[in-house]
């Protein structure tokens, strides 16, 4: 499933293609997609295919095509503080992107049938938290995963603001899925070969919208135990954050505000500065035309016979200098994690600094 957009050379180019094809339409969804590199959720030997708009499956591990995830993220209409349930959470790629939008006071739960995939998802989640360059740009709602069949969820479970099912839902299970939603909530699932968005507008009122034709493997029916009773899946509890954790969120938020204010003061009007490039070494020359294109300056020089005769060696030297500096001038300075730098500069004990940084690797 997929192939709707061209393959990218890297994650950003894949997102550019999804935007151009109108699969990604909102800034929040774009930020989430750019923050998490799709290739990080592939096994090493298959990473060459990570930026193609194709689904990937290896054993029990499965990723839907990027265009499908884009439509799902847009249809869910995610907002900070909402609760989210991912049925068939797989590698955790979608759950992690959702967590970036939900923020620290959201709820992010997943149910996955295969225990080996749960372990894989936990490894990928840990890798993202510890190493991602983009982690500190967000306050993350970390997903929690449980093993089980999503058709066996305990009937006394809480309802959610947003629900996604990553497997084909048979018509007889439609009402079961709807009952997982709060009033005002949104359910997105493949239903009868169509990716479908269902909004619960009242206790017994629904609005249904077909998004696009899809082909998903169907939900696996529960296995009945010898006694004839199924094994209920108990979702993670909605836990209240500890005072220590709330303090970390508040401190990080305050530091981010200070960094933002400092940036505004430095920039004056608050506009983002373009990437800084190394300056080219130039000699003074008289010019008649200047053209600006993609941060490069092209100039035509006013020449006269005496210039041509006397300065040919100087011009040749300038040409060599420009060729030598061209690769470096196009290379932006490496990104700076201002939050990390600010925390490390605080007069605090090292263990507290590391706690504020989630013990992340540099």
Q: Report the DSSP beta bridge partners of residue 165.
A: 87
Let me know: does 141 contact 99? Beta carbons within 8 Å: yes
Say which residue the tokens 């998490």 belong to: 36
CA distance 337 to 335: 7
Classified as helix, coil or strand, 186 is: strand
Following CA atoms 136, 348, 250, 256 in sequence, which dihedral angle do they give, to the nearest 10 degrees? Answer: -40
CA distance 139 to 60: 30
Classified as helix, coil or strand, 330 is: coil
Q: Answer yes or no: 64 catalytic.
A: yes
Structure tokens at 208: 């249904």
Let me know: does 32 contact 73? Beta carbons within 8 Å: yes
DSSP-assigned states of every residue in 242-270: PHHHHHHHHHHHHHHHHHHHHHHHHHSS-
Query: Parallel, antiparallel, or unpaired: how do β-strands 107-112 and 56-58 relate?
Result: unpaired
Say which residue the tokens 């989210």 belong to: 84
Let me know: does 75 contact 152? Beta carbons within 8 Å: no
309 φ, ψ to 5°?
-80, -40
CA distance 198 to 76: 10
Query: Parallel, antiparallel, or unpaired: how do β-strands 287-293 and 296-301 relate?
Result: antiparallel
CA distance 271 to 265: 10
DSSP-assigned states of every residue in 274-297: PPP-PPP------EEEEEEETTEE
Let me know: does 32 contact 134? Beta carbons within 8 Å: no
Catalytic residue among 64, 89, 95, 144: 64
Smallest Cα–Cα separation from 36: which of 117, 107, 119, 135?
135
**Which residues are marked as active site?**
64
């Amino acid at each position: 499933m997929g192939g709707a957009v061209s393959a990218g050379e890297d994650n950003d180019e894949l997102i550019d293609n999804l935007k151009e094809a109108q699969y990604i339409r909102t800034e929040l969804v774009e930020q989430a997609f750019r923050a998490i590199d799709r290739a990080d959720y592939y096994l090493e030997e298959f990473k060459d295919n990570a930026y193609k708009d194709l689904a990937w499956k290896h054993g029990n591990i499965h990723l839907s095509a990027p265009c499908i995830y884009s439509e799902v993220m847009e249809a869910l209409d995610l907002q900070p503080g909402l609760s989210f349930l991912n049925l068939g959470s797989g590698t955790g790629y979608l759950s992690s992107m959702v967590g970036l939008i939900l923020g620290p006071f959201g709820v992010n739960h997943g149910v996955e049938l295969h225990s080996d995939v749960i372990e894989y998802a936990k490894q990928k989640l840990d890798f993202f938290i510890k190493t991602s360059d983009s982690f500190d740009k967000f306050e993350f709602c970390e997903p929690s995963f449980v093993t089980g069949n999503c058709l066996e969820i305990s009937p006394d479970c809480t309802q959610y603001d947003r629900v996604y099912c990553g497997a084909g839902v048979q018509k007889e299970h439609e009402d079961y899925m709807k009952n997982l939603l709060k009033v005002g909530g949104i359910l997105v699932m493949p239903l009868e070969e169509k990716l479908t968005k269902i909004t619960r507008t009242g206790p017994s009122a629904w609005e249904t919208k077909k998004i696009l034709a899809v082909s998903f493997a169907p939900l696996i029916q529960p296995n009945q135990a010898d006694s004839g009773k199924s094994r209920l899946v108990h979702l993670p509890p909605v836990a209240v954050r500890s005072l220590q954790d709330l303090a970390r969120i508040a401190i990080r938020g305050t530091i981010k505000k200070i960094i933002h204010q400092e940036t505004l003061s430095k920039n004056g009007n608050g506009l983002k500065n373009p990437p800084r490039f190394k300056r080219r070494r130039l000699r003074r020359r008289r010019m008649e035309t200047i053209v600006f294109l993609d941060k490069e300056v092209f100039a035509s020089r006013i020449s006269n016979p005496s210039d041509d005769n006397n300065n040919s060696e100087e011009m040749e030297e300038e040409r060599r200098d420009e060729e030598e500096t061209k690769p470096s001038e196009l290379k932006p300075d490496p990104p700076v994690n201002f939050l990390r730098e600010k925390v490390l500069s605080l007069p605090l004990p090292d263990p507290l600094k590391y706690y504020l940084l989630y013990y992340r690797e540099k």
